[in-house]
Chains A and B, each alone.
Chain A
Amino acid sequence: MCIKVVPVMTLMVMIMNRQISYAQAISEALVQGMESNPNVFLFGLGVNDCKGVFGTTIEATKRFGDSRVFDVPASENALTGIAIGAALNGKHPILVHARHDFMFLALDQMINNAAKWKYTYAGKTSIGLTVRAIIGKGWGQGPTHSQNLQAILAHFPGTIVAVPSNAYDVKGIMLEALNQKNPVVIIEHRSLYDLKMTVPQEPYRLAFGRARISRQGKDVTVVATSSMVPEALRAAYILSEFGIELEVIDPVTIQPLDEEAILTSVQKTGRLICADGDWLNCSFASEVVARVADKAFHDLKAPIKRIGWPECPAPVSKVLEDAFHPTHKNIIAAVLEILDKRQISIPDVEIKDTFVGPY
């Protein structure tokens, strides 16, 4: 018999550098949140089925069973109201929309009730409610399975809107949401689910309204959200080879927004690009631009650029879909334009799409 002894230091490093995916981080946060608070329950269409919301609820189902992880009818609006009624009585519901687009049906309860509850009733009761909403991309998700409701949700005062871009942040944001007495919508992007990162095993919370400086750089500030963060980092990596350094700011939550982090970065670089997975009209990207124009206008050395979806619904056909979603290439082009360095020729870096659907 041979026992392999792992030296203590090696073990420590292994634990400290434990890499888990975005989906695993969500799963872990759910389990830890439910473990620490018996009033937390998880519900939504198919949450306890064999697929467990792309693997994120399988562990919670195993641990806590049907009384705390349960399936429901497809009644998005009433389920949101039901969550409010339960929250009113000390529960903390986690409501899951496996397709973010279905939240359009829940907007009455989200906006007319949840967002306004605490204010209207003068702070006597508040609603601790966490909503998970997943955006699809790729494999022809199409017009009504790829949308982003972040701007609508963040527009009305009273809802926290988080758009975490990596495994570390999504875990900390989820655990913070479960400890809050506020309606919190966590918009998860399906394209991030397999991305791994070092994530501590123990529970931790990330305060809302604190941006992450994903990369430091002196030339251009790129404010990127959710699935556009990896694209911005990719652009930064490539441009760095050409002596151009991007500073990538990930707001993590768009309501509240860490305006200070954005302004500080723009003061340093004098240039701003906002890259967002959404349409640009009346959008979060427009909001960032407006705030910078309002508060850091004189720091700007060049026009601001926004990168988002073209003015059409998301198409299905692969060629059209590829043209619809901006990538690191759009960011690189925008950077070269505002630096007036269009003459630089950047070799094409093709990113292989490993997603095999159907989801």
Chain B
Amino acid sequence: MTSPEIKKQLLDVMFKIRMAEEKIVEVYAKEQQMRTPTHLSIGQEAIAAALSLAMLPEDQIFVGHRCHAAYLARGGDFQGFFDELCGKKSGICQGRAGSAHLTDPSVGIYSSPILSAMIPVAVGAAMSFKMDASRKVAVAVFGDAAIEEGAFAESVNFAVTNKLPVLFVCENNLYSTHTPLPIRQPPSKIYERFSIPEMQTQQIDGNDASLVYETFKKAIEHVRSLKGPLFIECLTYRTREHVGPLYDYDRGYRTKEEVEEWMKRCPISLLTAKLIKENVLNASQAESMKQQWKSKADEAYASALKAPWPDVATLEEHVY
């Protein structure tokens, strides 16, 4: 069972992500200061939050384009996040990376948006951990479309063959941009399709934060003890458009009813209700947790607007 303390931390991390992204929603279209394609994780926060608490600081996490949640959960620099989205010199990657490449080596998070691009990199990190007997773990987080690219199959094959300490986490949010799963993959469930004797797979409700945490905790222990990679499919849903801050009911690829059905299963609302019911905290405590992150996000965005631009003379720096 997840301890009340961990549950509170899960909620706190999810609020951190949600309020940072709600800030993006608030200003992105209106103020036009974040000139970078943003893939919001609103509705999917439980997975990143749970991973961040289940992993050790020396572990590493590798993410695709929808990387805000993992970056913030993992403890990537908060001000550096807003500065990066605004293209400022003080951005975590000095304004070269933007929203889809959020990377902070000091906390072991790396991201790149070619869907499956970071999966083999995670496997390579895991290989080096095994070579060095360092007992570290690499986690690869990717969407349901990444498994359609060859690098995924190649990576799983290599990791399983060499029993590498890597955890594969698939965030199945049912759509690749506007293309639904049934057009892209056969009807069998993803976790069933990749289950082989050498790699256990499972499917969980990715919006139940404490369940996700418990699952990851066990999985990471298994992986750390070099028993071989595991694959966990987390069912979840992004409530906003694929890229950008809006709702997208008008685009015809999903219905408003479907989105609203998933909103009822928002991971933050679910955990808040649970914690109130369990008397771990009351509604006003939850609200103040949320407001704290809202203020931090407001401040960070305001500060990002004032931060200096990168010096154009640095344009060609760091190529080699």
Q: Which residues of A approach B to under 8 Å, CB–CB?
A: 41, 67, 72-73, 75, 77-91, 93, 108-109, 112-113, 118-125, 157-158, 160, 182
Contact = CB atoms under 8 A, between A and B. Distances in A.
Interface residues of B, number: 40
B103 interface: yes
B126 interface: yes
Tell which of A78, A79, A113 has the most Cβ of chain B within 10 Å: A78
Interface in B117-159: 117-129, 131-132, 138, 150-151, 154-155, 157-158
Nearest 4 interchain pairs by C-beta: A85-B124, A81-B120, A78-B154, A75-B154
A82 B123 contact: yes
A79 B127 CA distance: 11
A82 to B, nearest CB: 4
Given A109-B151, A122-B94, A84 B124 contact: yes
B97 interface: yes
Contacts of A118: 318-320
Given A82-B158, A157-B319, A121 B123 contact: no
A321 B131 CA distance: 45
A79 B158 contact: yes
B112 interface: yes
A84 B117 CA distance: 11
A112 to B, nearest CB: 5
Interface of B: 60, 62, 92-94, 96-97, 101, 103, 105, 110, 112, 114, 117-129, 131-132, 138, 150-151, 154-155, 157-158, 161, 317-320
Contact of B318 (A77, A83, A91, A122): A122
B131 A80 contact: no
A78 B319 contact: no
Which residue of A41, A85, A121, A182 has the most chain B CB atoms within 10 A of its CB atom?
Answer: A85
A119 B319 contact: yes
Contacts of B114: 108, 112-113
16 contacts: A41-B131, A77-B120, A78-B120, A78-B158, A79-B158, A81-B117, A81-B121, A82-B124, A85-B122, A86-B131, A91-B131, A93-B124, A119-B317, A121-B103, A122-B97, A158-B320
B27 to A, nearest CB: 24
Contacts of A72: 158
B93 A121 contact: yes
Contacts of B129: 89
